[in-house]
């Protein structure tokens, strides 16, 4: 960016200063007490994100049959609300009061309510939750990544695991759960699936065929991948499948991100992640989601913390599986609880920039532009690269942004080159470049911008990186 002239920075707005946004963040696993939310609330609010995903924690809330202690969840919900954030709740995980098997699993993760007694206990709990938070929580998600298998299938009957049977069971479970929420809060919206894998349509198709489509407002999916250039096709394929049943069902990207170091556990573990690569994937994936016109997209997650997905009660080593997905870094105590100052990473400032620039009802837009191919002194060659991603947006104030980057493989390649455009319907004085990594605003040098007349502006040999930059215009 040294060829450009920095003229300012994008102001960073807090969540309270932003009325609406399609950008959110994960605040999960407090049902397992893996970090101190009090130290994170203000830092999340300073990001300017809006939607915050939390998990309901049946095990933590109902420790005696029929007695619900929502104090811990009240504190989370209320602290988020007072900072201008909007919590949405994933209703998930089991309770050993009703399912003996759940007593073995740390946090009763993936342990469904099995049998009539347990299912009725679940319905009662869901009704109590929705009634308690009526007016404060408006969006409820049903379970988490159910197509990976209910825990009892994996641990007790793994050889007999049947994906389609699981889908039909999940559909029945979701219908019962949706009815329970709506009975006490008719205004609540329901999110189905929280899919772990969007590439396998069988689970979704079977569940929707089983009647689930009539009882949900949204479908959420999780998309962790280093191959982010495939992301748009994956989302559009899911959209096409859902449209067969009900085009009014919206899509929510509910979890996606990467670790900031290579020794982290969880999805995409073992890859050569660094803080800089985490920042790149955050920007590239969230921008792609927005261009695919999802209802909103949520980065996973706020905190470095233990994954705590396969823990066994009494075996601490089984759940000391640190993930490092957070935009805030942490230290850890002997029990795996995140401690320290919760320090922002580079990805934090990128998310803060994105949340401010893409606040409000940002929409994909067809911006009239043409690629030009100039001889570039910067790369000592003709601009021939065809791997650039270029997305147009209409921002909330009616102005426009053309966001672009070179979609090189993040794990193995860094890239710096140049790219040229001709923009129609624009004037040179209205053009600025925003570096989405930190919100720096740049003016172009005189030899990089030309008024070609007839409201056409030529932009010559702009920086082209493997991280998104935005051309800001009217």
| Residue 81 near residue 136 (C-beta atoms within 8 A) | yes
Query: In terms of DSSP bridges, do strands 51-55 and 86-91 run parallel, antiparallel, or are they unpaired?
Result: parallel
Write down the pLDDT at residue 198.
78
**CA–CA gap between residue 86 and residue 251 (Å, rounded):** 18
Picking from 97-106, 237-246, 284-293, which range would have the lowest pLDDT averaged per residue? 97-106
**Does the domain at residues 5-357 carry the CATH identifier 3.20.20.80?**
yes
Query: Beta strands of 346-414 (E only): which ranges?
Result: 363-364, 369-372, 375-376, 381-382, 388-394, 400-406
Average pLDDT over residues 207-224: 97
Nearest to 295 by CA among 13, 51, 26: 51
Write down the pLDDT at residue 154.
59
pLDDT at 445 over 60: yes
Q: Greatest CA span in the chain, whole angstroms?
A: 75
Average pLDDT over residues 188-216: 93
* Candidates 1.10.3470, 3.30.70, 2.60.40, 2.60.420; CATH matching 363-473: 2.60.40
Write down the pLDDT at residue 200.
73
CA angle 174–190–285, rounded 5-degree value: 105
Dump pLDDT digits (tens) for 326-355: 999 999 999 999 999 999 999 999 999 999
Share of the chain above pLDDT 90, in %: 92
pLDDT at 16 over 60: yes
pLDDT at 363 over 90: yes
pLDDT at 281 over 70: yes
Dump pLDDT digits (tens) for 259-273: 999 999 999 999 999
pLDDT band at 321 (very low <50, low <70, confident <90, very high): very high
pLDDT at 201 over 90: no
Dump pLDDT digits (tens) for 429-444: 999 999 999 999 999 9
In the chain, domain spans: 5-357, 363-473
Helices and strands, number each (H, E), in the chain: 10, 23
Query: Beta strands of 212-307 (E only): which ranges?
Result: 218-222, 250-255, 296-299
Mean pLDDT across the chain: 95
Q: What are phi and psi of 133, to 5 degrees?
A: -105, 15
Dump pLDDT digits (tens) for 154-181: 555 566 678 888 999 999 999 999 999 9
Write down the pLDDT at residue 385.
84
Average pLDDT over residues 239-260: 98
Average pLDDT over residues 103-113: 93
CA angle 62–216–132, rounded 5-degree value: 30
pLDDT at 450 over 90: yes
pLDDT band at 308 (very low <50, low <70, confident <90, very high): confident
pLDDT band at 236 (very low <50, low <70, confident <90, very high): very high
- Helices (DSSP H) in 83-225: which residue ranges? 116-132, 151-156, 163-184, 201-209
């Amino acid at each position: 960016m040294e060829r450009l002239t920095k003229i300012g920075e994008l102001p960073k707005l807090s969540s309270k200063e932003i009325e609406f946004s399609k950008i959110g963040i994960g605040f999960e696993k407090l049902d397992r007490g893996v970090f101190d939310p009090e130290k994170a609330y203000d830092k999340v609010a300073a990001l300017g994100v809006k939607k915050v995903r939390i998990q309901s924690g049946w095990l933590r809330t109902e420790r005696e049959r029929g007695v619900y202690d929502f104090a811990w969840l009240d504190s989370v919900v209320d602290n988020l609300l007072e900072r201008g954030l909007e919590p949405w709740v994933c209703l998930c995980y089991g309770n050993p009061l009703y399912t003996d098997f759940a007593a073995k699993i740390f946090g009763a993760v993936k342990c469904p309510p099995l049998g009539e007694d347990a299912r009725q206990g679940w319905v009662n709990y869901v009704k109590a939750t929705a009634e308690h938070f009526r007016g404060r929580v408006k969006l409820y998600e049903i379970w988490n990544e159910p197509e990976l298998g209910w825990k009892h299938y994996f641990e007790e009957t793994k050889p007999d695991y049947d994906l389609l049977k699981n889908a039909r069971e999940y559909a029945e479970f979701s219908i019962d759960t949706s009815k329970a929420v709506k009975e006490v809060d008719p205004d609540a919206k329901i999110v189905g699936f929280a899919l772990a894998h969007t590439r396998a349509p069988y689970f979704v198709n079977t569940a929707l065929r089983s009647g689930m489509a009539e009882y949900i407002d949204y479908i959420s999916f999780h998309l962790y991948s280093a191959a982010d250039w495939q992301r748009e096709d994956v989302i559009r394929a899911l959209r096409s499948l859902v449209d067969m049943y009900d085009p009014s069902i919206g899509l929510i990207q509910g979890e996606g991100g990467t670790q900031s170091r290579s020794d982290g556990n969880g999805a995409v573990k073992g890859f050569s992640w660094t803080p800089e690569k985490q920042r790149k994937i955050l920007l590239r994936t969230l921008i792609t989601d927005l261009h695919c016109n999802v209802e909103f997209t949520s980065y996973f997650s706020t905190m470095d913390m233990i994954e705590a997905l396969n823990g066994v009660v009494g075996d601490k080593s089984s759940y000391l599986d640190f993930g490092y997905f957070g935009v805030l870094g942490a230290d850890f105590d002997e029990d795996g609880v995140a401690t320290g100052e919760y320090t922002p990473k580079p990805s934090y400032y990128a998310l803060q920039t994105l949340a401010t620039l893409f606040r409000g009802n940002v929409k994909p837009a067809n911006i009239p532009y043409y690629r030009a191919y100039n001889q570039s002194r910067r790369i000592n060659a003709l601009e021939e690269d065809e791997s650039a991603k270029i997305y147009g947006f209409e921002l909330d104030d009616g102005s426009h942004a053309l966001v672009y980057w070179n979609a090189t493989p993040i794990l193995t390649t860094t890239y710096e080159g140049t790219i040229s455009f001709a923009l129609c319907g624009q004037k040179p004085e209205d053009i600025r470049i925003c570096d989405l990594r930190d919100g720096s605003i740049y003016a172009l040098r005189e030899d990089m911008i030309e008024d070609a007349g007839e409201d056409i502006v030529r932009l010559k040999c702009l920086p082209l990186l493997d991280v998104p930059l935005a051309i800001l215009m009217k």
